[in-house]
Amino acid sequence: MNEKLERSVVYLKGVGPKRAELLEKVGVTNIYDLLGYYPRDYIDLSVPSEIRSLTVGGEEPVVVRGRIVRKLPPAHIRRGMTIFNAVFTDDTEDLTIIIYNQDYLFSTLKVGESYILYGKLTGNTFRKEMSAPAIYPADSQDLIQPVYPLTEGLTQNVLRKAVRNAIDLVSGEVTEIMPKHVKDQLSLCSLITAWENIHFPKSIDSALEARRRLIFDELFVHALAVAYRRELENNSSNFIMKNVDMSGFYASLPFELTGAQEKALDDCIVGMCSPERMNRLIQGDVGSGKTVVAAGAAYFAHKNGFQSCVMAPTEILAGQHYETFRKLLEPLGVRVGLLTGSLTPKNKKEMQSAIALGEYDVVVGTHALISESVKFFRLALVITDEQHRFGVEQRAALSAKGNSPHRIVMSATPIPRTLALIYYGELAISIIDELPKGRQPIHTYAVSGGVRERAYGFVKKQLDDGRQGYIVCPAVEESELDIKDVKSYYEELKNGLFSEYKLGLLHGKMSAAEKDEVMRSFKDGELHLLVATTVVEVGVDVPNATIIVIENADRFGLSQLHQLRGRVGRGSCESFCILITDNGTPEVIKRLKLISSTNDGFKIADEDLKLRGPGDFFGKQQHGLPDFKLADLSRDINVFRQGQIMAERIIACDPKLSRPENRVLNELVSRLIEKGAEMN
């Protein structure tokens, strides 16, 4: 990269040490950072309004063009406060400019000279005023002014001048990062032109053209980093399997697979027979039958003489997978074992020995599987459930077991395909978008707190019919916010409306053992009603649960509400979800209407991406997604696909990005990979 781009902003004309400190607060330390600190908006000075057409008191700033008629004597209001007034006209009507304590600015204004003003119109019918407007010479060449995000002490003028000086400094010396054939094929402007026009566009069209180039840069470099990282990994398979007869597996199932399940399992089989190591994401909505597909893949590995392991994020979920795999595979002669942290030291040692000797064909467990003391016999397939709930080190440690085994990742979190391509970029994707036969849609209703008693009467009816239910609250303990907290609400319900029923309490501050005990009691039917936080979002399969009530539903994202709703409707009985909120804002109403109208998790996820951004799908702190400045994952999917195609072509020709023309790309990709590792 050009040396000047790496230079600290402290040496830039008009910045200095103090302003450099302020710029550092907004993430700007060098010239490259500054050029990438894009405006959040623009002020268009090219279309002024007539003063007589403007209404006093409007919320939005306005642009007027005219001349100074006269300057009034300064008014000294108090010590340290001087007000300067000037009469301004555009020949349709006059207004008074009010300037506070800026005698130098006032002195630069010349009677008879023309200016452009930008600000809010105040005053009254008889005297229109504009307080502290932005003032530009009428012959200004920069009629579209950038507006930047600021921090205290940093002004728009300081930023604009700094960026202008930075562009002038590097103009003519910027190394183009984009290969010429890519730039020409997509008709993209040069990088320096993009920087010039994103910051100081001559027209809105030129700003849009600059954005197009810079958005492509962001998405292209990310796609290139994914392709580069994948190329560096050892992708040759040590377990090239042979196609074997799967009819026994299909015949043993107590149900018929959906077309989507069959396709996903076929994808896995083809992947395990390939010379390359399989890395596949099986993504499906709650209840779509991903586990059956994973069990089929494990059976295929067993028929080829290999072991599989399945890692789940919690003991209760691991136990559920263990029961499912046993039920599906043990009748076919597949030996299934369970390894969790709660086993006694003696039992754990016995399990580890049996695993190492190959006495189990499929091993299900929690993060206990990645312990150094766990050795496998012939591990060829690793299956991870809800991968984003594990840390990077845990995922890597499991994949390191064996000798580069094939990998399947299962996710019940509906993720827009755009986001899946970004987050799971190194994985091939199979989507299960059909529900198994017999599954009924969940009836969803959004109501206000005023009908809570009626809603809970409906819950009682479900419990009296022998069913079970959930009540979910957003907070664990009482807070200053006016929302239901799970602890006090549990006590209130247990001693009030639901005193004749057995209630359980579940929240994230309980120990793992406590949570497991409560969930087991609920699953075994010992509890009628579970009062919980979102800790139940990824929980066990309780087919007898047919009703879930979510308090303060406006506090949750759409995808989270959908995940919570998926706790019911897992059996053949009609199921219900009641969303309670007293927030009647248009946005909340729109969101709750959407989730009440569809059970399609992918449609909901697409909408959630638009409303709340990508962090909502993976948590705010460790979602591992790139921090795009201009690109919008819900809008720019076609640009991302273009970037992917170009990236794959470049990596195919230059796998290590070692050619001279790819030197800058290599540097950017290395930085991005390093930053991604830090985020995770």
Answer whether 339's CB lies under 8 Å from 374's CB: yes
Residue 475 DSSP class: B
Specify whether 496 is located in the same domain as 401.
no
Specify whether 116 is located in the same domain as 96.
yes
Q: How confident is the model at residue 390 (pLDDT cuts 50, 70, 90)?
A: low
In 3D space, the residue among 251, 319, 294, 248 whose CA is nearest the CA of residue 432 turns out to be 294
Contacts of 331 (CB under 8 A, 6+ apart): 252
Tokens 């009254």 correspond to: 124
Dist. CA 503–CA 664, nearest whole Å: 61
Residue span of the structural domain in which 553 resides: 443-598
Dist. CA 432–CA 439, nearest whole Å: 15
Task: Output the pLDDT for position 283.
Answer: 85
User: Residues of the chain with pLDDT > 70: what percent?
Assistant: 90
From residue 462, alpha-carbon distances to 286, 453, 504, 653 in Å are 22, 14, 17, 63
Dist. CA 412–CA 15, nearest whole Å: 50
Specify whether 266 is located in the same domain as 377.
yes
Specify whether 419 is located in the same domain as 475.
no
Specify whether 133 is located in the same domain as 100.
yes
Dist. CA 346–CA 235, nearest whole Å: 38
Tokens 């046993």 correspond to: 326
Specify whether 323 is located in the same domain as 452.
no
Query: Which residues in 192-212 are b (16+ Cβ under 10 Å) and which e?
Result: bbbbbbbbbbeeeebbebbbb
Whether the pLDDT of residue 344 is over 90: the answer is: no
Whether the pLDDT of residue 620 is over 60: the answer is: no
In 3D space, the residue among 385, 362, 337 whose CA is nearest the CA of residue 541 turns out to be 385
**Domain boundary pick from 139, 173, 191:** 139
Q: Is residue 206 part of a domain?
A: no
Of 25 and 616, the structure prediction assigns the larger pLDDT to 25
User: Residues of the chain with pLDDT > 90: what percent?
Assistant: 50
Helix axes 259-272, 290-303, angle to 10 degrees: 30
pTM of the full structure: 0.68
Residue 662 CB coordination number (10 Å):
19
Q: Is residue 402 part of a domain?
A: yes
Q: Is residue 173 part of a domain?
A: no
Strands 128-131 and 121-123, by their bridges, are antiparallel
Please give the tally of structural domains in the chain: 3
* pLDDT tens per residue across span 150-186: 999 999 989 999 999 999 999 888 888 888 889 999 9
Q: Is residue 438 part of a domain?
A: no
In 3D space, the residue among 557, 668, 559, 679 whose CA is nearest the CA of residue 626 turns out to be 679
Phi first, then psi, for residue 137 (nearest 5°) are -60, 145
* pLDDT tens per residue across span 250-296: 999 988 899 999 999 999 999 999 998 898 989 887 777 889 999 99
Task: Output the pLDDT for position 617.
Answer: 54
Specify whether 331 is located in the same domain as 253.
yes
Q: How confident is the model at residue 531 (pLDDT cuts 50, 70, 90)?
A: very high
Specify whether 426 is located in the same domain as 453.
no
Number of Cα atoms under 13 Å in the Cβ half of residue 344: 3
CATH number at residue 259: 3.40.50.300
From residue 393, alpha-carbon distances to 308, 390, 412, 510, 591 in Å are 20, 8, 22, 25, 36
CATH number at residue 60: 2.40.50.140
Dist. CA 459–CA 501, nearest whole Å: 11
Instruction: Find the mean pLDDT for residues 307-324.
Output: 88
483 alpha-carbon distance from chain centroid: 25
Specify whether 518 is located in the same domain as 425.
no
Whether the pLDDT of residue 622 is over 50: the answer is: no
Specify whether 312 is located in the same domain as 458.
no
Number of Cα atoms under 13 Å in the Cβ half of residue 343: 20
**Domain boundary pick from 116, 139, 162:** 139
Task: Output the pLDDT for position 425.
Answer: 65
Determine the residue type at 40: R
Helix axes 191-199, 204-232, angle to 10 degrees: 130
Lowest mean pLDDT among 3-17, 178-192, 424-438, 520-534: 424-438
Whether the pLDDT of residue 513 is over 90: the answer is: no
Tokens 């399989």 correspond to: 278
Dist. CA 417–CA 574, nearest whole Å: 30
Lowest mean pLDDT among 120-134, 135-149, 408-422: 408-422
Collapsed DSSP state (helix, strand, coil) of residue 43:
strand
Number of Cα atoms under 13 Å in the Cβ half of residue 151: 10
Answer whether 67's CB lies under 8 Å from 113's CB: yes
Q: Is residue 550 part of a domain?
A: yes
Q: Where are the beta strands (DSSP E) in 252-295?
A: 279-284
Residue 485 DSSP class: B
**Domain boundary pick from 392, 407, 432:** 432
Residue 240 structure tokens: 């090239």
Contacts of 238 (CB under 8 A, 6+ apart): 277, 380, 403, 404, 405
Dist. CA 170–CA 535, nearest whole Å: 52
Answer whether 103's CB lies under 8 Å from 62's CB: no
* pLDDT tens per residue across span 430-489: 888 887 776 778 999 999 988 988 999 999 999 999 999 999 988 776 654 566 778 888
Contacts of 471 (CB under 8 A, 6+ apart): 459, 489, 493, 529, 530, 531, 532, 548, 549, 551
Residue 647 DSSP class: H
Specify whether 526 is located in the same domain as 563.
yes
Q: Is residue 78 part of a domain?
A: yes
Dist. CA 86–CA 109, nearest whole Å: 9
Specify whether 478 is located in the same domain as 401.
no
Answer whether 70's CB lies under 8 Å from 87's CB: yes
Whether the pLDDT of residue 679 is over 70: the answer is: no
Dist. CA 96–CA 109, nearest whole Å: 13
Q: Is residue 31 part of a domain?
A: no
Q: Is residue 640 part of a domain?
A: no
